Amino acid sequence: MAHNTAVRVGNRRLTLTNLDKVLYPDSGTTKAEVLQYFTEVGPALVPLLTGRPLTRKRWPDGTAADPFFQKNVEAATPDWIPRHTLTQGSRTVVYPEVDELADLVYFAQSGALEFHVPQWRFAPDGSPGAPDRLVIDLDPGPGVTLDECAQVALRVRERLQARGLDALPVTSGSKGIHLYAGVGDGWTSRRCSEVAKEIAVELERQTPEQVTSTMSKAVRAGKVFVDWSQNSATKTTISPYSLRGTAQPTVAAPRTWAELTAPDLRQLDFHEVVERLRGGVAPATVPRPHEARQAIAGAGVVGGRNRVEAPMLATAATASEFASRADPDTWALEYKYDGIRALVSFGGEDHPVRLTSRNGLDIGVGYPELLHLPAGLTGHSGVLDGEIVAFGDDGAPSFGRLQQRMGRSRPPSARERESNPVALLLFDVLELDGVSVRDKPLRDRRRVLEAIRIPEGDSWRVPDLAPPDLDEALDSSRAAHMEGLVAKRWDSGYRSGRSSVWLKLKHFRTCEVVIGGWLPGEGGRAKGVGSVLVGLPAGPGRLRYLGRVGSGMSDATLGRLRDLVAETASGDSPFGDTVPAVDARSARWVRPETVAEVRYSELTDDGRLRHPVWRGLRPDKSAADVEGVEGGGC
- Containing 101, the helix (H) or strand (E) segment is helix 101-109
Rounding to the nearest 10 degrees, give the CA dihedral for residues 101, 106, 109, 115. -70
Range 311-337 burial, b when 16+ CB lie within 10 A, else e: bbbbeebebeebeeebeeeebbbbbbb
Rounded Cα distance between 159 and 142, Å, is: 26
Backbone angles phi, psi at 354, to 5 degrees: -125, 130
Residue 623: what residue type? A
Catalytic residue numbers?
Answer: 336
What is the C-alpha end-to-end distance of the chain, expressed in Å?
63
For the chain, give the number of residues: 634
Could you please report the per-residue DSSP string of 367-435? -GGGSS--GGGTT-EEEEEEEEEEB-TTSSB-HHHHHTTTT-SSPPPHHHHHHS-EEEEEEEEEEETTE
Q: Which of 612, 617, 618 is closest to 599 using CA atoms?
A: 612
Whole-angstrom distance, CA of residue 298 vs CA of residue 283: 10
Kind plus residue range of the DSSP H or E element containing 43: helix 31-49
As a whole number of Å, the CA-based R_g of the chain is 27
As a whole number of angstroms, the distance between CA 362 and CA 368 comes to 12
Cα(407)–Cα(596) distance, rounded to whole angstroms? Answer: 12
Q: How far apart are CA 634 and CA 612, in angstroms?
A: 12
CA distance 178 to 140: 11
For the range 455-461, what are the long-range contacts, defined as Cβ-Cβ under 8 Å and sequence gap of 24 or more?
A: 455/374, 455/375, 458/374, 459/369, 459/370, 459/421, 459/422, 459/423, 459/424, 460/370, 460/374, 460/423, 460/424, 460/426, 461/423, 461/424, 461/425, 461/426
DSSP 264-289: T---EEHHHHHHHHHTT-S--SPPPT
What's CA 566's distance to the chain center, in Å?
26
Judged by DSSP in three states, 366 sits in: helix
Alpha carbons 550 and 518: distance in angstroms, whole number: 10
Distance CA 600, CA 608 (A): 10
Q: What's the rounded Cα separation, in Å, for the pair 33 and 183?
A: 36
Q: How far is CA 139 from CA 173, 531, 618, in A?
A: 12, 44, 35
Q: Provide the pairing of β-strand 354-356 with 340-347.
A: antiparallel
